[in-house]
Amino acid sequence: MRTQQTPTILLVDDEPFILDATARLLRSAGFNVHTCEQWTGVAATVHREDPDLILMDYNMPSIKGDDLCRILKRNMSGNNSPIIIFSSEPEADLLDIVRRSGADGYIRKNVAGHVLLQRVRDALESSRSGLAS
């Protein structure tokens, strides 16, 4: 993970509107943001950009976010980027998805912008705290 002051977030979502709106919100809060609209570019982007956090859509064509999370966790040795599932699925389902996939948490897509930003900051802080212990 990067040690720079400005955290880098990789946002993965197949919906261009959600990808753009969420990226703009994160950038307006001062984050560096890289985006992937297709799951096929995620591993290369993780390797190249070494994000501090991966915010990943659950419902993508061809592969679900939980499957992609498991693949990344298994194959991205040396990269400890927390993966947060980003979805509008019901909360009970998201808890199960996180448990099954090994994701580090979830954020619902239908939360207000300030809540999304706070959840991202909390995930980054939790990640930093975990590295320190």
At 39, list the tokens: 């799951």
* Helix and strand numbers, DSSP H then E, in the chain: 5, 5
Full-model pTM = 0.88
Provide Rg for the chain, Cα atoms: 13
Does 115 or 2 have the greater pLDDT score? Answer: 115
- pLDDT tens by residue, 75-124: 776 678 899 999 999 999 999 999 999 899 999 999 999 999 999 999 99
Does 133 or 33 have the greater pLDDT score? Answer: 33
Q: How confident is the model at residue 73 (pLDDT cuts 50, 70, 90)?
A: confident
Query: How far apart, in whole angstroms, are the C-alpha atoms of residue 105 and residue 15?
Result: 21
Which class does domain 8-132 fall in?
alpha beta
Query: How far apart, in whole angstroms, are the C-alpha atoms of residue 131 and residue 65?
Result: 24
Each domain of the chain, given as residue ranges in start order, spans: 8-132
Strands 8-12 and 53-57: parallel
- pLDDT tens by residue, 20-72: 999 999 999 999 999 999 888 888 899 899 999 999 999 888 888 888 888 88
If you write DSSP's letter for every residue of 51-106 in order, what string do you get? -SEEEEES--SSS-HHHHHHHHHHH-TT----EEEEE-S-HHHHHHHHHHHT-SEE
